[in-house]
Amino acid sequence: MGMSSLTEEQVIEALGQAGYRITQSRRAVIRVLLEDNGFASPSELWERAVEYYPGIGLVTVYRTLDLLSRLGFVRRIHTDEGCHGRASTRLGHRHHLICRQCGAAVEFEGCDLSIFLARVSGETGYLVEEHMLELIGLCPECR
């Protein structure tokens, strides 16, 4: 289920049940995330969240993204600029294609890594709980 299929109130309710305060700034970030179809950097989210809550600061956007990430509502993707990359606005098990030139990112579903993960688990003794798959290349526009 993607975050885009959730309502603002469902996300707010989940925050409340997890013991977090529901602030206007958190609502603004959630609203912007729900409107987004793909990925946005924290500064891009901040620029749009200001429209809903003019007093919001960039640090608050980062903190809200961290909170939503801990609760499983957003994921981060890695770029050449660093691990903070862009915030995925979808929930669940997803994978990303990232353009190394312009930074555009698209999400794709589906992978069957079960044999590979079982082998890695067997060889290392680790219990693999989740994974991220990112493919780097050139988008159609940059090709």
Per-residue pLDDT tens over the stretch 91-115 = 455 677 878 888 777 777 667 788 8
SS3 state at 99: strand
H helix or E strand, kind and range, residue 84: strand 82-88
C-alpha pair distances (Å), 115 with each of 96, 108, 112, 132, 142: 21, 20, 8, 16, 34
Report the topology of domain 1-92.
Answer: Arc Repressor Mutant, subunit A (1.10.10)
The verdict on pTM exceeding 0.85 is: no
Intervals of CATH 3.30.1490.190 along the chain: 93-143
Phi, psi of 84, rounded to the nearest 5 degrees: -70, -30
Intervals of CATH 1.10.10.10 along the chain: 1-92
CATH architecture group of domain 93-143: 2-Layer Sandwich (3.30)
Q: Is residue 1 very low, low, confident or very high in pLDDT (cuts 50, 70, 90)?
A: very low
H helix or E strand, kind and range, residue 142: none
Phi, psi of 95, rounded to the nearest 5 degrees: -135, 160
